[in-house]
Amino acid sequence: MEIILSQIEQYISDHTTEETAALKELNRQTHLKAMMPQMLSGKVQGKVLEFISRMMQPKSILEIGTYTGYSGICLAKGLQPGGKIITIDINDELTPMVKDYVAKENLTNAFEILTGNALQIIPTLHHTFDLVFIDADKQNYANYYDLVFDKLVTGGWIIADNVLWSGKVVETEKDKDTLAIDAFNKKIQKDTRVENVIMSVRDGLMIVRKIG
């Protein structure tokens, strides 16, 4: 299902600030070298994530799902001076690419890259976070949410990607990933500890604010 008309998507892109040279190169290299390049946030969503982070000015960010580092770089641009982003991915094959482009954006000191199962790593993190970005395996979205919630400061934010799942969330027949995303969205909607909104940016961003 086409969530936004392709002509409108192009118009939005045409009227969005261009990527930095490093991010543009990372975008291209991801499409050339990585599997499933459609997972890349890309120019428009990347700028949205950057702007959200700049408005929040977080001291600490947790990203679940590094991929080639595009979204993490965008989020890291909003960190307070001396701030840190911890990013977790189960696959280390793309780590050299991530480190390369993090360095090109002069963000090496802000990044801590962890490899492994996020379900096992998150409980070992003795940190509190101002902002959490969830963009990993869809069937564990609800589990990631539960694991990070107590590590999120009151007034902190969670952003989850792909919550419209190419529009499949409104279809009658749903596969396992779609069912998981739909259940996650409903879980957030019922959680009285948060306020939330879904933005129809790219494949859908659920933005959650912890109020209690």
Give tens-digit pLDDT for 89-113: 999 999 999 999 999 999 999 999 9
**pTM, full prediction:** 0.95
CA–CA gap between residue 19 and residue 199 (Å, rounded): 21
Q: What superfamily in CATH does domain 6-210 come from?
A: Vaccinia Virus protein VP39 (3.40.50.150)
What residues of the chain score a pLDDT lower than 70? 1-2
- Residue spans of the domains in the chain: they are 6-210
At residue 212, the pLDDT reads 82
Residue 79: alpha-carbon gap to chain centroid: 15
Adjacent-strand bridge partners of 195: 209
At residue 2, the pLDDT reads 64
- Residue 105 host element (H or E): none
